[in-house]
Structure 1
Amino acid sequence: MKKAGILNRELSGAIAELGHGDGVLVCDAGLPTPRGPRVVDLAFRAGVPSFAEVLDGLLAELVVEGATAAGEIRAANPAASALLHGHFPELTLVPHERLKQLSADARLIVRTGEARPYANVLLRCGVFF
């Protein structure tokens, strides 16, 4: 049994399968998930687990070379916007509809219980060397 890090077996296994350039979408409970990418649904109740908790846990285990979010996050969810800009000073912003299109090419989607709007980010995996 793992003693640290992500304990969810499905998510831990999915992370181990990721490679350089793969996309990981971390999304709120309301974002429609496209057919195709593997989805690990962590949503339990509204707000649980939060977008911030899941993102922090993933960033502790992933090498990320880029991130994309919806530009609407700035006005609709300033807290999530600040969180993302804190982690990713060069955060790419696109229209929400474009982010949904890009999510179809993700290798993994992690659905949180987040109930605030636009708490979604598409991470691009990097390498540790």
Structure 2
Amino acid sequence: MKKSGILNSHIAKVLADLGHTDYIVIADIGLPVPDGVPKIDLALTYGVPSFRDVVHVISEDMEIEQITIAEEMVQQNEDTFLYMQDKFASIPLSRCSHEEFKHYCQKAKVIIRTGESRPYANCILHAGVHFGATQQ
């Protein structure tokens, strides 16, 4: 049995299989999932689990080199935008229109659906490379 980290086997497998420049989407309850893109649905009820909870847990286990959000988050969900800026202060944060964001979702490795019910609580996490300790 796994001792720590992400216990959800589907999420753990997706993260283990990511390569450099692959990306995943963490989504609110309203983001449409394009045909053919796998969805891991964590939503239990409105707000559970929250977008922040899922982002936090995944960011502890994933090497992230860039984050993309919809421009609409800035004005229509300022608390979440400020959270993302603060949490990922050292990682480039790019913005695009919500329509462009939905287009990018078509090539995501997975969309992880949260129970978040605030608007535009979505992000794309782009995988980086973690070289860790090297053997000699």
Q: Choose 1 or 2 for highest CA Rg.
A: 2
1:1-129 equivalences under 5 Å are 1-89=1-89, 90-129=92-131
Q: Distance in 2 between matches of 1:37 and 1:60?
A: 24
CA-CA distance at 1:88 after TM superposition: 3.1
Does the aligned pair in 1 maintain the 2:73–2:119 contact within 8 Å? yes
Identity of matched residues, %: 40
Unaligned runs of 5+ in 1: none
Amino acid at match of 1:95: S
**One-letter code aligned to 1:93:** R
Given residue 96 of structure 2, which amino acid in structure 1 is its aligned partner? Answer: V
Query: What TM-score does the superposition give when structure 1 sets the normalisation length?
Result: 0.95
Give the letter for the 2:93 counterpart.
L
Q: Which amino acid aligns with 1:37?
A: V
What value does the CA root-mean-square deviation take over the aligned residues?
A: 1.0
CA contact (8 A) 1:66 1:88 kept: no
In structure 2, stretches of 5+ residues that fail to align are 132-136
Aligned residues between the structures:
129
Q: Deviations over 1:64-102 (max 9, x none)?
A: 000100011011111110111123343101111110001
Q: Is the 8 A contact 1:63 1:127 kept in 2?
A: yes
Instruction: Tell which deviates more after alignment, 93-102 or 36-45.
Output: 36-45
Task: Flag as ranges the 4+ runs of structure 1 deviating above 2 A.
Answer: 87-90
Shift in Å, 1:114: 0.3
Task: Measure the CA separation in 1 of the matches of 2:125 and 2:37.
Answer: 14
Structure 2 Cα separation of the partners of residues 87 and 33 of structure 1 = 26
**Secondary structure of the residue that 2:117 maps to in structure 1?**
coil
Q: Is the 8 A contact 2:14 2:109 kept in 1?
A: no
The one-letter code sitting in structure 2 at the alignment partner of 1:117 is P
